[in-house]
Chains A and B, each alone.
Chain A
Amino acid sequence: SAVISQKPSRDICQRGTSLTIQCQVDSQVTMMFWYRQQPGQSLTLIATANQGSEATYESGFVIDKFPISRPNLTFSTLTVSNMSPEDSSIYLCSILGGAGSNTGELFFGEGSRLTVL
């Protein structure tokens, strides 16, 4: 399986600031996915990032709050903008295994744990 590296692994941020999370994959992938895991809760898909096109956001998530870049087939960034304590979560980057088929499982990075004060 691919190696997915996320930076930072954790950070403590001040209210009103923005933070960019990086996701690097050691192989080329068409789609990359960004998930949020709020404390004690399940994973929620934020958006799907395809190289060369705008990210597709899920209901409840908007580009102004969570801008995403996908400059090439191995890299993506997620920015959490104008942070509030409610944004304290683990943010996870993932890719689709199984050669990108719909039967493929997701592989996840280690996550970026953000705490907003």
Chain B
Amino acid sequence: AQSVAQPEDQVNVAEGNPLTVKCTYSVSGNPYLFWYVQYPNRGLQFLLKYITGDNLVKGSYGFEAEFNKSQTSFHLKKPSALVSDSALYFCAVRSLGTGGGNKLTFGTGTQLKVEL
């Protein structure tokens, strides 16, 4: 079975500082990895994905994520945080190797709080 772990329930960062939201995964085949953001009372918005190729992927709103196969991690990063980045962030994984097909498995989410 595939799974995703987001070890931090909340991350606090000062505006202008770099941010990292951690994600590790477990799959039996090649992973397809995704990050989503959820603002209050809104649905999920897609940020970025890793399918294959360059381990560093860039996405919306200046976010990027680094795929590390040896550490089975896919941490979300941004060089300079904004107060408007404050939201709930979800990591997700899909692996065809497990027979999961189109099923996306989500982590428990990390609340990012960016303060002035």
| Interface residues of A, Cβ cutoff 8 Å to B | 1, 4, 6, 31, 33, 41-45, 48, 58, 92, 94, 96-97, 102-103, 105-111, 113
Contacts and interface: CB of A to CB of B under 8 A. Distances in A.
A96 B49 CA distance: 13
B44 A102 contact: no
A64 B28 CA distance: 33
- A contact patch SS: strand
A26 to B, nearest CB: 15
Interface size class of B (residues with CB under 8 A): 20 to 34
A42 B90 contact: yes
B44 A108 contact: yes
Contacts of B36: 108
B32 A43 contact: no
Interface of B: 32, 34, 36, 41-46, 49, 51, 90, 94, 96, 101-104, 106-109
B101 A42 contact: no
A42 B34 CA distance: 14
Contacts of B90: 42-43
B108 A42 contact: yes
A113 B109 CA distance: 18
Contacts of A96: 102
A25 to B, nearest CB: 13
Given A102-B32, A105-B49, A106-B104, 20 more contacts: A1-B46, A6-B43, A33-B102, A41-B109, A42-B90, A42-B108, A43-B44, A44-B106, A48-B102, A58-B103, A96-B102, A103-B32, A106-B44, A106-B46, A108-B36, A108-B43, A108-B45, A109-B43, A111-B43, A113-B41
